[in-house]
Structure 1
């Protein structure tokens, strides 16, 4: 299959859509947790719902099981199951804000891997953008509030960051020869199986899903929120995220991904009444600025080549590199 041209315009659009979709998961999941569901149960329902929605797609792409089984297994184990499992394990030992900050060091790990291991030059804009986004994220989650240095908890949070980094790297690895629908559908199926061992869905209070829950001042059926989590915050979020990495690069898409945290906090303020402090507002501005700087690291090839033009074998490799 022909290679996919790096394209800043469409890639940025997909990256923003992915961040918005992922960012809405927290505020939508919160009413379900408040209604009595365990956070790990909500996570399992979210991933299992996506797997159910994508089951026909998995059947359609069954040949991918033979051609790229390692990629599908890795995607299910690390990005879709590993991040969730390690994050929930971390927040049982360290504050949520600290765990979230460490988890979102994933794009920084991608940048370090690209520069130090693969020895591919990384633009100053991408480096500055990711660094600024990390600082802004620290303000957003108010990391200075109540830090407890639990070594095991920090290691678990770092493991979540490593799994998040593999999301960007694996998405870039398969950018030219594997359909994103195949990767996401089988990734969701594998993640559901793995998370079932931790979440033990047979202990889930299923009756809560038949009730209404408070959301944004309204009584909403819990099942509607669950469908939103599975369809928008998981299926669409991952699909647009993979499309973004394929058109940008792991480093740049990772920088834009910090918009997820901004989206989550702003929606929590609008829908759940969770007020933003001055420090959080400053942090949100820093995250947006960092994401903008990161995305400027990719040259816009659409103007020179046209949206349908594909690179030839003589074209130089993109400066930000791919993970192949």
Structure 2
């Protein structure tokens, strides 16, 4: 009753926007941490501290894990690690908005392919055209490693969506994350811990803890609240704004000024993301997990 009365006057779409804003704000603010402990070190700190929070909030239901659940749980943990570490590594080399737009190709392609409608494939193609306008490879200044890392992040996000459905069908709420985030932290530790070693002080640890709360802990809660009052199609369409938010925060916080051609590229990516929601929806399972772009992400 308290939750309903408190949130009744708050439009649910504002929670979705706030979630995306916090995720991209966290990414933008991570640049300082990347400079001190490297992208892999930053990814490991965020994942490890986020894992601790999830374990404290929801005890991992280890007794409920069946042998058939292990591949999906391990895969989701690896995908989560690739998504976070890949994006941060890309941000070290290319602008935030460009990295997010390339990453967005992952879930966008999943939504189009899983719709079983060939006409839906036009949306990833449109988004790819937008990415080309963002990266402008014809100018010869493209950082191939930055693009590759963003593709890794996008691949991780796409796999994350698919496996989240399977894990969500077995574990409700955030209990699945209390299992998969520790796995992600362990996976990224192999490359993250060497970067952090010798560079971890109290200020760095406090900054990493704040960033871990900023994303994914608080955004996940906001997305859960928004999904209670919005259709999944509407929420998925709203999520298409994320690349634009990345560009905006890159401009304001990192002084990454896009050209007018790059702005057109962002518009194409956003339009493709909104269009893909017309057919990329899965009916909710018993635990409320859906397909498409409307899945909580890091």
TM over 0.5: yes
Deviation at 1:196, TM superposition (A): 0.9
CA contact (8 A) 1:89 1:156 kept: yes
Q: Which has the higher contact order (CA 8 A, sep 6+)?
A: 1
**Matched residue SS, 1:38:** helix
Q: CA RMSD in A?
A: 4.3
CA contact (8 A) 2:111 2:291 kept: no
CA distance in 2, matches of 1:19, 1:319: 18
Deviation at 1:11, TM superposition (A): 9.7
CA distance in 1, matches of 2:170, 2:30: 34
CA contact (8 A) 1:184 1:235 kept: no
For residues 183 and 147 of structure 1, do their structure 2 counterparts lie closer, same or farther at Cα, with a shift above 3 Å needed?
Answer: farther
Aligned residue among 278, 298, 302 for 2:260: 278
Which shows bigger deviation, 179-188 or 276-285?
A: 276-285
Aligned residue among 201, 205, 215 for 1:233: 215
Structure-to-structure mapping, 1:180-259, within 5 angstroms: 180-200=173-193, 203-207=197-201, 209-210=202-203, 223=206, 225-237=207-219, 248=232, 253=236, 257-259=239-241
CA distance in 1, matches of 2:42, 2:146: 21
Aligned to 1:23: 24
CA radius of gyration, larger in: 1
Aligned to 1:121: 117
Aligned residue among 110, 131, 136 for 2:130: 136
Structure-to-structure mapping, 1:57-206, within 5 angstroms: 57-59=57-59, 61-66=61-66, 68-78=69-79, 80-86=80-86, 96=94, 102-111=102-111, 113-114=113-114, 120-121=116-117, 124=119, 127-146=121-140, 158-200=151-193, 203-206=197-200
Q: Which runs of 5+ in 1 are unaligned?
A: 1-9, 212-221, 302-309, 313-317
Q: How many residue pairs are counted as aligned between the two chains?
A: 271
CA contact (8 A) 2:111 2:277 kept: no
Normalised to the residue count of structure 1, the TM-score between the two structures is 0.64
Q: Which runs of 5+ in 2 are unaligned?
A: 1-10, 293-298
For residues 293 and 49 of structure 1, do their structure 2 counterparts lie closer, same or farther at Cα, with a shift above 3 Å needed?
Answer: same
Aligned to 2:277: 295
CA contact (8 A) 1:37 1:204 kept: no
Instruction: Identify, as 1 or 2, the structure richer in helix.
Output: 2
